[in-house]
Amino acid sequence: MSFISEFKQFALKGNVIDLAVGVIIGAAFGKIVDSAVGDLIMPLAGMALGQVDFSNLFVALREVPAGVPMTLEAVRKAGVPVFAWGHFVTVSLNFLILALVIFLMVKQINRLRERQAPPPPPTPEDVLLLREIRDSLKK
């Protein structure tokens, strides 16, 4: 079998296509969750903590040069190592929400698959005939 025909056979298998669709949908869904966490949840958490931008909470591990604004991006551009705990909390919350939603989706898909269980195969004719003979002998 040539390399091209072997690759074609591999690429056209149902599982590979399902995986590709899953990755594309997962990437798009990840952007939605990023937006929900970054634009909806974290601003509310930041407001509760008295901060406007929760992702900008950090501790500089070295002295910040004069004239550098105290934002995470500016301090990092200045080459100062930072302990960006606010960003870490944001990404962790993002992961937890994404994992929860994926868990719920898989749980629902499994529930739908259970409902659509294939019917049992029809009883073979020889078994039906034997049952009929058995029942007639009982009489």
Provide the CATH number for the domain around residue 100: 1.10.1200.120
Range of the structural domain that residue 125 is part of:
3-138
- Answer yes or no: is pLDDT of 123 > 80: yes
Query: d(Cα 121, Cα 129) in Å, to the nearest integer?
Result: 17
Domain count, the chain: 1
Phi, psi dihedral angles at 60 (to 5 degrees): -75, 130
Q: What is the pLDDT of residue 125?
A: 92
Residues 8-42 have pLDDT tens digits of 777 777 677 777 878 888 888 888 888 888 788 87
Which residue from 95, 114, 118 is spatially nearest to 106, judged by alpha carbons? 114
In sequence order, what are the beta bridge partners of 82?
60
Q: Is 59 helix (H, G, I), strand (E, B) or coil?
A: strand
Which pair of tokens denotes residue 125?
């004719």
Residues 38-64 have pLDDT tens digits of 788 877 877 787 766 677 788 888 898
Averaged pLDDT for residues 85-101? 83
